[in-house]
């Protein structure tokens, strides 16, 4: 049996790395193509569903179980009481420095007893560090009404830390990262999370999400992308590249200030599953009505909405083509 020399193994692995980068490029290109195909349809859908009251409430009611795990009964009540609209957009798709994988999720709300905001928009930037890539976000300020904060102060504390971090980045150059943990806002949030006795965190804490890794600025991401591209070019030219030293071990555990550790997963579920498949979930809600009583009593919802498009949702029941046997939504192919 012939033995392979170690160099060959290494080359082989470097080739795989180049291929991975090519798969990554293809995926980005597919996001662009997908956006071009679907954008006009999403606009058309938005027009049509304006005429259907509680459309998004019904979609959220039929959310996949992975999503339900993150929604408490008091959160559901907010959705039923006042969720008006949802919009997902790829806000960096035409930005050469941004990524088509970045997206924004915008919730529209009616008047309600919980918070003042009419719109809560959360942005997810696709960013890279030396050895990680994924979505990072900035905490969104929710103006809770007195005594109504469903997160027990988590969104406020996360927002304050983000503000302090931003100020720090402006003053301290480069070494800001190491000082972040000294901020009183950092300590306050870490303590708040540590002491939290709530077994179940409100979905609204998701608006305070930053990263499942750590915050990465646009500058750091650009620098990391450039360095990675250079490495790849070297590999392609057959030059030897040094293994990167792994200096992460000295970093603090930024997850001690993360109020919603699976926030990126939840965002992906909304943006890449519930948003694109909303018509399907809406149809399921009719079928549920059909077979059985819906868990959510449509008649009880938001009666003071005096728009002239009020229709009897139950009037739609049974008009839908039977689709409960439809195949489950497909996953995107990816390397």
Residues 169-188 that bind a second copy (CB under 8 A): none
Q: In angstroms, what is the minimal distance from the CB of 317 to a second copy?
A: 10
- 159 in Cβ contact with 141 (< 8 Å): yes
Check binding of 69 to a second copy (CB under 8 A): no
CA atoms within 13 A on the CB side of 94: 2
Report CA 126 to chain centroid distance, whole Å. 10
- Out of 94, 219, 243, 247, the residue judged to bind a second copy by CB under 8 A: 243
Q: Strands (DSSP E) along 25-132, which ranges?
A: 83-89, 103-109, 119-128
Q: How many Å apart are CA 321 and CA 97, to the nearest integer?
A: 44
Q: In angstroms, what is the minimal distance from the CB of 170 to a second copy?
A: 27
- 316 in Cβ contact with 289 (< 8 Å): no
- For residues 129-168, which are near a second copy according to CB under 8 A? 131-135
Check binding of 293 to a second copy (CB under 8 A): no
Q: In angstroms, what is the minimal distance from the CB of 268 to a second copy?
A: 6
- For residues 70-99, which are near a second copy according to CB under 8 A? none
Of residues 44 and 167, the one with the C-beta less far from a second copy? 44
Check binding of 335 to a second copy (CB under 8 A): yes
Residue span binding a second copy (CB under 8 A) among the ranges 45-53, 147-155, 218-226, 287-295:
45-53
Question: Rounded to the nearest 10 degrees, what angle do helices 6-49 and 218-236 cross at?
Answer: 140
Alpha helices in 133-217 (DSSP H): 154-171, 176-180, 184-195
Q: How many Å apart are CA 131 and CA 129, to the nearest integer?
A: 5
Q: Binding mask 244-283 vs a second copy (x if CB under 8 A, - otherwise)?
A: x-x-x---------------xx--x---xx-xxxxxx---
Residue span binding a second copy (CB under 8 A) among the ranges 44-52, 106-114, 144-152, 170-178:
44-52
Check binding of 236 to a second copy (CB under 8 A): no
- Tokens for 168, please give them: 């720090």
């Amino acid at each position: 049996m012939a033995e392979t020399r170690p160099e060959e193994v290494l080359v082989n692995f470097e080739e795989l790395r180049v291929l991975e980068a090519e798969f990554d490029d293809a995926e980005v290109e597919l996001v662009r193509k997908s956006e071009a195909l679907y954008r006009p349809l999403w606009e058309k859908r938005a027009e049509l569903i304006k005429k259907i009251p509680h459309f998004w409430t019904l979609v959220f009611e039929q959310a996949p179980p992975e999503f339900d795990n993150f929604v408490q009964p008091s959160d559901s009540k907010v959705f039923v009481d006042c969720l008006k609209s949802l919009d997902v957009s790829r806000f960096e798709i035409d930005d050469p420095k941004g990524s088509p994988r970045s997206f924004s999720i915008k919730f529209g709300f009616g008047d309600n007893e919980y918070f003042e905001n009419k719109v809560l928009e959360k942005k997810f930037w696709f960013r890279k560090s030396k050895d990680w890539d994924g979505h990072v976000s900035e905490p969104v300020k929710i103006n809770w009404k007195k005594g109504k904060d469903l997160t027990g102060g988590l969104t406020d504390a996360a927002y304050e830390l983000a503000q302090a971090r931003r100020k720090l980045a402006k003053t301290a150059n480069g070494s800001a990262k190491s000082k972040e943990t000294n901020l009183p806002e950092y300590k306050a949030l870490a303590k708040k999370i540590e002491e939290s006795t709530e077994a179940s965190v409100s979905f609204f804490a998701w608006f305070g999400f930053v990263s499942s890794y750590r915050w990465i600025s646009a500058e750091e991401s650009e620098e990391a992308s450039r360095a990675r591209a250079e490495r790849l070019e070297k590999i392609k030219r057959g030059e030897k590249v040094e293994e990167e030293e792994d200096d992460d071990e000295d970093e603090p555990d930024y997850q001690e200030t993360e109020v919603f550790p699976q926030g990126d997963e939840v965002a992906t579920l909304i943006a890449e599953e519930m948003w694109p498949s909303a018509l399907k979930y809406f149809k399921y809600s009719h079928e549920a009505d059909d077979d059985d009583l819906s868990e959510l009593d449509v008649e009880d919802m938001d009666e003071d909405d005096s728009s002239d498009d009020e229709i009897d949702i139950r009037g739609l029941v049974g008009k839908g083509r039977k689709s409960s046997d439809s195949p489950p939504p497909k996953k995107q192919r990816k390397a």
